[in-house]
Amino acid sequence: MNRDRNDGAILKVEGLTKSFGNVVAVHRVNLMIQTKEVHAVIGPNGAGKTTLFNLITGELKADEGIVVFEGREITGHAPHHVVGLGVSRSFQITNIFQDLTVFENVMIPVLVKNRCQRNLFTSALRIGKVKEETLSLLTKVGLGDIADIKGHALSHGDKKRLEVAVVLASGPKLMLLDEPTAGMSPEETDATVRLIKKVASELGITILFTEHDMKVVFSISDYIWVLQQGSIIAHGLPKEIKNNKKVIEAYIGEKVE
């Protein structure tokens, strides 16, 4: 896998920089994310991972550098425009409508994607295409049997899976997942790992994610980028990162089997 080649890259980040006062959160970061691969960005707390995601998706404006998606520069574009181009993300803190049902949470972005008018919301269940697509997405993430449950009644793991379904509902080509297994039990983590693998392999969606659980990172990543104090200190295939002395000293602490 030659990272010096531009062909096959769905996302390129060049020289991306962001400061907050005197604190440099992201410093001249370069990334090249290949189409239909799963890439991880790892690093200690405060390394700049979430800030980097916010810059890519337009939540924050970069001080320097560019973001290119499918050959088109999207630096500084509004988040809704970035989503419309095919880049969607989840957040560290689950971002769902707590008082809506599982079905309604996913139906809303499906309606938006299909450009249905807001006054159709109350009759959305009668729209065959919307209902079918919503139920299909819920089945894919393992929530089809609890479509009528309110968001606030879900377990932490199910809330995370629902958020993945909401992201999928926008029809993304690239998904950014911010700590998708944070706070999960081992069983929930295993289920989420299987879901991410399924999204990548069966739906062909490119995934860029952050994660602190190194077993998760090394079990699903095609390529890994290591961020420390806002800068990329290493990148490579999982086997290369596992044995990188700089990465072990700076973050991992020991070799991961």
Q: What is the pLDDT of residues 139-189, one digit of tens each?
A: 999 999 999 999 999 998 899 889 999 999 888 999 999 999 988 899 999
45 burial type by CB count under 10 A (0-12 exposed, 13-18 middle, 19+ buried): exposed
pTM confidence score: 0.86
Mean pLDDT of 197-224: 93
- Pairing relationship of beta strands 38-42 and 87-89 according to DSSP bridges: unpaired
Residue identified by tokens 């295993």 is 190
Q: Given pLDDT bands bounded at 50, 70 and 90, which one contains residue 1?
A: very low
Question: Distance between CA 20 and CA 130 in Å, rounded?
Answer: 42
Instruction: Give the chain's domains with CATH numbers.
Output: 1-86+172-257 (3.40.50.300), 93-170 (no CATH)
Q: Is the dihedral of CA 14, 163, 180, 26 positive or negative?
A: positive
Q: What is the pLDDT of residues 62-102, one digit of tens each?
A: 999 999 999 999 998 999 899 989 999 986 656 788 999 99
CA 155 to chain centroid: 20
